[in-house]
Homo-oligomer: A and B are copies of this chain.
């Protein structure tokens, strides 16, 4: 029986950057890549990289490092980025449109199949080749296409209403770019993104720099 892995959020968050570097090494035709090298490219400690990579199950070779191709596969599989995830976008504003067109997401198995917006002008159009529907088609399309994942980019004040709609349509995972803390039943997972928090960090770093 497989032991329940302990999830370390900071480690998981660093994996995508390791994947990028390892993929670049693969392109270069390298056989092995060491934690030391990954660490130096990202200005991290090698021990941290080794600890993080361990959660994917990869086994390295002393003196050489990690086999590049296996490492790519290990990270990709750990993140389930080796399976296509059909997703919908809810709220086809500027941010949502940018996310649909984001080139990197393709390689993460993130595949937008439909967008929904309450603006009548947008229904019937396409954004980055993804069809936009009116919100009242959401329920139907989600069950018809068996979608599990939704990206939420709507104004804060309708975030909860749309979340409720998504949940009742059968959505199981919500990537929430509104800054509203939406409530969901236990079986629905939510990942909240808050752009302001990054900006807050930048501002505080500047303040510290000025004081120094």
Minimum C-beta distance from A49 to chain B (A): 13
CB pair A203–B79 under 8 Å, yes or no, is: yes
A211 within 8 A of B: yes
What's the nearest-Cβ distance from chain B to residue A73, in Å? 15
Q: Determine the residue in chain B with the shortest Cβ distance to A104.
A: B196
Q: Count residues of A near B (Cβ-Cβ below 8 Å).
A: 56
Q: Take A94-B101, A98-B95, A198-B175 as given contacts and tell me if A81 and B20 are in contact as well, using a CB distance cutoff of 8 Å.
A: no
Does A158 lie at the interface of the complex (its beta carbon under 8 Å from any beta carbon of B)?
A: no
State whether A205 and B181 are in contact (beta carbons under 8 Å apart), knowing that A79-B200, A94-B97 are contacts in the complex.
no
* Set B43, B108, B187, B193: member contacting A209, Cβ < 8 A: B187
**Cβ-closest chain B residue relative to A19:** B196
Q: Which residues of B contact A211 (CB under 8 A)?
A: 4
Is A161 part of the binding interface, using a Cβ–Cβ cutoff of 8 Å?
no
Q: Please state if A200 and B97 are interface contacts (CB–CB under 8 Å).
A: no
Q: Which residues of B contact A208 (CB under 8 A)?
A: 7
- Closest A-B pairs by Cβ, 4 of them: A191-B202, A94-B98, A16-B196, A13-B197
